[in-house]
Amino acid sequence: MERFLQEGVIPVGELLLFVKGFFQKESFFHSLSLKGEVGKVTRWKGAYFFDLKDDKGFLPCSWWLGEYASPSYIPVTGDEVLVEGDLSLYEKRGSLSFRVRSLTPFGEGAKLLAIKQLKEKLEKEGLFASERKKKVPTAAEKIGIVCGQNSAAESDLRRNISRRWPLAEMCFAYASVQGKSAPKEIITSLKELDEQNLDVLILARGGGSDEDLMAFNDEELARVIANLKTPLVTAIGHEIDTSIADLVSDLRVSTPTAAAEAVTLDVEDVLLEVKELQERLFSAFSRIYFEKRKVLDLYQSRPIFKKPNGLLEEIEKKKDTLKERFILAIKHYFERQTSLLEERKTKLFSIAPERVLERGFSITLNEKGKPVRLAKDITVGGTLQTILKEGRVFSKVEEIKDE
């Protein structure tokens, strides 16, 4: 730049580069905070472009987030915002621009708008959907509680849980419930209790203004609540106040007292139910007793119970009769079996070899002593033995004919 100053002529591009470098070197132009009204907003890939203006001028702004980023708050034309970033010069056009690093709405109305947009974002992601919410137990024994230490909410929960179900164990993790540090403290306490294998968690405070309840509209807190393993009941504010934490929690009630009632049995109700069950049980036993007593009286009125020996005499008579019938049946069985045995003996005797020989037949055995049935059972030159009714004949085979 000094060379051009000596020559007295400065190229446009060199001047713009010099100014751009000046902006980059001077810390004043870094981390500037500006307030203004948003002009027309356009998006291209991963960036938002808009003009930030007031009644005296405007400044082009670019907000680079990444192609798939989805901020909790997106400005629209007419919004009043606070932006933080760096002033820069686009040398090709010779125009100033502001590179935004963070953007937040300005004023109370803007806060409500930011909360509204965050609710819409989380709802689209399904964090408010009923199907993802866990079932809250109505008879919890181990209860984790996040609230302000020595607060009205703590007092209400201790009193009502102890009154309703004295056996319940309460585990407290204290946190600020309003102010800038509140969301982080609540998140830490919830995570701590979530690891203790409790039946249910309660996040409570005793109401307050919209500003007091801002801690419960934190996006990070909402996502932590959605990922808890333990069912969570929120008791934040009163019926007219509904925070984002309420919408993400598994059950939302209006007060700490209502939270205690939602997760515990009432010992008075249980005792009353036990009494009713006792009365029903006594009534049932009485009915069964009188029914069985009637049956017993009926049995006692029968002759057998009036004259037990009469039954024994009758049994003795039946026993003698059965004995005679049994002996007779055994006798008939043996007679029948003996007759069958004689018949079979006669048949076997008629086909015995001796009977066959008596009828003029003979039995021929080969030299191995086996009966001859076929011509191939003998050999030429072999010896045959013929058994007759009386005596035996031995012969020699001279010729065999197969016919």
* Sign of the CA dihedral running 208, 211, 215, 216: positive
Provide the 3-class DSSP secondary structure of residue 123. helix
Q: Is the pLDDT of residue 392 over 70?
A: yes
- Residues 128-181: tens digit of each pLDDT: 999 999 999 999 999 999 999 999 999 999 999 999 999 999 999 999 998 889
Token reading at 39? 């002009």
Average pLDDT, integer, range 334-351: 83
Query: In 3D, which of 35, 70, 84, 85 has the Cα closest to residue 55?
Result: 35
Q: Specify the pTM.
A: 0.50
Segments making up each domain of the chain, as ranges: 2-106, 142-265, 306-346, 357-396
The CATH T-level fold of domain 142-265 is Rossmann fold (3.40.50)
CA distance 111 to 250: 25
Q: What's the gap between Cα 339 and its chain centre? A: 79
Give the burial class of 245: count Cβ atoms within 10 A of its Cβ; 0-12 exposed, 13-18 middle, 19 or more buried. Answer: buried
CA angle at 273 for the pair 272 and 278, rounded to the nearest 5°: 100
CA distance 247 to 211: 18
- pLDDT band for position 110 (50/70/90)? low
CA distance 82 to 100: 10
- Residues 308-323: tens digit of each pLDDT: 676 677 777 888 888 8
Percent of the chain with pLDDT over 90: 36
- pLDDT band for position 8 (50/70/90)? low
Provide the 3-class DSSP secondary structure of residue 234. strand
- Say which CATH class 2-106 falls into: mainly beta
Token reading at 218? 């934190």
